[in-house]
């Protein structure tokens, strides 16, 4: 109520306050759970302000609110996998249905964030207009929302109906900001579209090589969102070797390179996505979550001692003398 009152009393645009003050502060907090709950509360306050729609502010509010749903959906997915290992079919079905419902809510929120993105920058997907330097982070969050909307909707069987051209639009829009300035995240978004839209990549470019190269450059600067996207896309495509590469390289990056201050929240979100993929692999192979992002190599069985005779007659007398 206090937040709503303050926003209603503002003389200046709500977008300016949110993108210049609230957004930078929120993105410096490496606590996804805390920020996603704040995003949900902020969204309700913003839509109640009786002035022009604050599109940029709602991009952030809807995207961060959806992160809570993403977290719940991942937990339910792991729960279903554990039940499957135990042969509890009814529990598997229940967890999967609960997860589908949460994914649907996440898809709706991400789709709303992307809709606000395209309302603010109405040229997205068609051409490249100007994105002011101070607005570029919000712009990229909106492109991330479009990508996640498509992936979440796909997980529900396309219940929400996110337009099929969303990823292609995201990929084209990603070219409109300098990729090197933003730790190659735009290049990752563009290559992500290539992996999912057949024939969209330039001739002679392997989409999976391109997205891994962009992720590798980004992680060198402490931004692992690219590797998180690689892991999710590769997992959906059944490319386990690429998932393992993403986990190993991102774990090394986390250990050696801190995230830039303005990227702390999104880097924490990236870690959550990567940890989920590691947990899925760990539960499938070992029945439990790994301690880190990568799974230990299975221990080889010990070789038989040279003096052991595999054809010797068994004896019940442990004290029998050797012949």
* Residue 313, pLDDT score: 53
CA distance 232 to 238: 10
Query: How far apart are the C-alpha atoms of 312 and 305, rounded to whole Å?
Result: 14
Instruction: Please count the CA atoms within 13 angstroms of the CA of 32 that sit on its side-chain side.
Output: 16
Which residue, 128, 149, 174, sits at the end of a domain?
174
Residues 193 and 237 in one domain: yes
Asked which of 148, 174, 200 is the last residue of a domain, the reply is: 174
Please check whether residues 68 and 169 belong to one and the same domain.
Answer: yes
44-58, 64-78, 128-142, 226-240: range with lowest mean pLDDT: 44-58
| pTM exceeding 0.75 | yes
Question: Counting beta carbons within 10 angstroms of the beta carbon of residue 247, is it exposed (0 to 12), middle (13 to 18) or buried (19 or more)?
Answer: buried
Do 110 and 230 belong to one domain?
Answer: no
Is 32 domain-assigned?
yes
Do 60 and 200 sit in the same domain of this protein?
A: no
Considering the domain architecture, whether residues 33 and 166 belong to the same structural domain is answered as yes
123 within some domain = yes
Q: Is residue 148 part of a domain?
A: yes
Is residue 313 in a domain?
no
**Same domain as 203, residue 137:** no
* Chain segment 263-285, per-residue pLDDT in tens: 898 999 999 999 999 999 999 99
Contact of 292 with 279, CB cutoff 8 Å: no
Residue 75 has pLDDT above 50, yes or no: yes
Do residues 149 and 232 share a domain? Answer: no
Are 160 and 226 members of one domain?
no
The answer to the question of residue 81 being in a domain is: yes
Same domain? For 283 and 166 the reply is no
Task: Let me know: does 68 contact 37? Beta carbons within 8 Å.
Answer: yes
Looking at the structure, tell me whether residues 164 and 20 fall in a common domain: yes
- Per the structure, the count of domains in the chain is 2
Query: Residue 38 — φ and ψ, nearest 5°?
Result: -65, -40
pLDDT at residue 298 greater than cutoff 80: no
- Are 182 and 138 members of one domain? no
Determine the structural domain holding residue 63 and report its residue range. Answer: 12-174
My answer on whether 214 and 248 are in the same domain is: yes
**Quick one: which of 131, 137, 117 has its CA closest to 261?**
137
Q: What is the pLDDT of residues 308-320, one digit of tens each?
A: 454 445 455 545 5
Q: What count of Cα atoms within 13 Å lies in the side-chain half-sphere of residue 306?
A: 0
């Amino acid at each position: 109520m206090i937040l709503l009152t303050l926003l209603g009393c503002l003389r200046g645009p709500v977008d300016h306050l949110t993108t210049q003050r609230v957004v930078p502060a929120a993105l410096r907090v490496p606590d996804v759970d805390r920020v996603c709950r704040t995003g949900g509360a902020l969204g309700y306050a913003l839509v109640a302000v009786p002035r022009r729609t604050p599109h940029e502010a709602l991009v952030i509010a809807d995207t961060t609110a959806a992160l809570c749903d993403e977290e719940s959906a991942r937990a339910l997915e792991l729960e279903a996998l554990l039940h499957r290992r135990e042969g509890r079919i009814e529990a598997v079905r229940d967890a999967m249905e609960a997860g589908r419902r949460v994914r649907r809510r996440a898809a709706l929120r991400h789709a709303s964030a992307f809709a606000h993105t395209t309302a603010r920058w109405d040229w997205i997907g068609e051409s490249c207009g100007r994105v002011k330097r101070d607005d570029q982070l919000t712009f990229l969050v909106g492109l991330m929302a479009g990508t996640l909307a498509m992936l979440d909707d796909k997980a529900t069987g396309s219940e929400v109906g996110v337009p099929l051209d969303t990823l292609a639009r995201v990929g084209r829009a990603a070219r409109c900001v300098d990729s090197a300035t933003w730790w190659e995240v735009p290049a990752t978004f563009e290559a992500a579209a290539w992996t999912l839209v057949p024939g969209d990549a330039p001739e002679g470019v392997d989409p999976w090589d391109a997205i891994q190269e962009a992720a590798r450059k980004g992680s060198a600067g402490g931004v692992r969102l690219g590797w998180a996207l690689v892991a999710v896309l590769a997992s959906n495509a059944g490319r386990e070797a690429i998932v393992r590469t993403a986990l190993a390289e991102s774990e090394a990056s986390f250990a050696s390179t801190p995230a830039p201050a303005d990227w702390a929240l999104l880097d924490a979100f990236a870690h959550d996505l990567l940890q989920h993929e590691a947990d899925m692999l760990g539960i499938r192979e070992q029945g439990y979550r790994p301690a880190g992002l990568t799974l230990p190599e299975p221990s080889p069985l010990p070789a038989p001692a040279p003096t052991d005779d595999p054809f010797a007659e068994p004896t019940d007398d442990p004290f029998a003398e050797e012949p």
